[in-house]
Amino acid sequence: MTPPLRIAVAGLGTVGAGTLALLARHDALLAMRCGRRLEVTAVCARDRDRDRGVSLDGIAWHDTVESLAHADGDVVVELIGGASGAALDLARAALAAGKHLVTANKALIAHHGPELARIAEGAGLNLAYEAAVAGGIPIVKGLREGLAGNRIDSIHGILNGTCNYVLTTMRETGRDFDDVLGEAQALGYAEADPSFDVDGIDSAHKLAILSSVAFGADIDFGAVYVEGIRGIAPLDLVFAEELGYRIKLLGLARAEAGGIAQRVHPCMVPKAAPIAQVEGVLNAVVADGDFVGGTVYEGPGAGAGPTASAVVADLIDIARGGRVPTFSIPAAEMRALAPVPIENRIGPYYVRLMVVDRPGVIADITACLRDHQVSMETMIQRARKPGEAVPVVMTVHDVKEAAMGAAIDQIGRLPTVLESPHMIRIEAL
């Protein structure tokens, strides 16, 4: 019989404990699927005495990642988290010791993926990271293997369940951002410091990884335009519904003549679009291939079970002897592609203003649009008493982002505009 695949796990938090639980529960099933057992032989974590709800009997305990990297075994699973520090030290040490590496760490891959991939592939090892993007959705495998016969033209998706939950609940209840975020924290959907999620950084890490897989380019996290959801008001969600849209925080990447456009920001998407129907904490990714067309992947993007499912899927590939390029093409052939700046985006926009209701206000606003060749499509103005503050909402036809930004700046300087204008990009997905 083929010897078992010996696995060392670093990090026994939610995902680590979930991975051990899955491996124990499906031990016999996985052995049949792999032709060999998947056996955890070593672990490392900060608190040795903590009850994690899984048995560690017969598993060697290591107090440092350096020790774990050199433990007897075939694969190291990194579930520590963070772009540097112990996670990066372990990744480098494990590969240097001739061990395959499996990780759920999107920050690590987004910042150091190409370096680690070159080391792994040069040594004939696997660097696997399915769990780093969209939890239980097999999107990395889908892009890299299922759609390998296609040229990928674009990808877009909901890559953060916390933000999707907040926006869904705000729309359904009319409550404001801070109130719903507090609820998400109480339910465990958001961290005590939620900035990583709500400011778009988590989504940007995942988008940078998916862009590399889709387009065969070096990961360039610094080139991702990032904007979070703190500025979304309940009023925006109401007007979006009236105009036939839903607001979602999306990651979008597209191969263009000048390079790759990568951006994370709130979008208004048509209510009929598949991505508009994805609610609550779910994630979804849409990939467009030149032969297959649009393909949609939806499911839970976080949590012990879904993430452990993705970790074990990578372990199964290694146990079966599977080898594919880490980022769709050999790491040695990956090259940097020029970033396409957000200012080059061409598309429609939604703008919300709070203005003093007096004669001439709309004329002043339209004059600002005219000065920058921005063409208005629709306008909504709610009646108030003259002299009171009133919201004015408009959508504009396709225009370059640079021109739209200049028009917004000019409008914001009008004395009758009481707050900074709020702009959301409309995506016809």
Active site members: 206
Work out the angle at residue 149's Cα, subtended by the Cα atoms of residues 145 and 152, and round it to the nearest 5 degrees. 85
Helices and strands (DSSP H and E) totals, the chain: 14, 16
Q: In a 3-state reduction of DSSP, which class is residue 292?
A: coil
Q: Which residues of 362-393 are buried (b: 16+ CB within 10 A; e: fewer)?
A: eeebeebbeebebeeeeeeeeeeeeeeebbbb
Residues 310 and 131: beta-carbon distance below 8 Å: yes
Residues 347 and 398: beta-carbon distance below 8 Å: yes
Q: Which residue has the tokens 């200049």?
A: 406
Show Cβ contacts of residue 142 under 8 Å, excluding neighbours closer than 6 positions.
287, 295, 297
Q: Which residue has the tokens 């849409």?
A: 286
Q: In a 3-state reduction of DSSP, which class is residue 283?
A: strand
Residues 90 and 75: beta-carbon distance below 8 Å: no
Residue 392: beta bridge partners? 353, 381
d(CA 402, CA 399): 8
Instruction: Tell me whether strands 38-44 and 60-62 are parallel, antiparallel or unpaired.
Output: parallel
Residue 300: beta bridge partners? 282
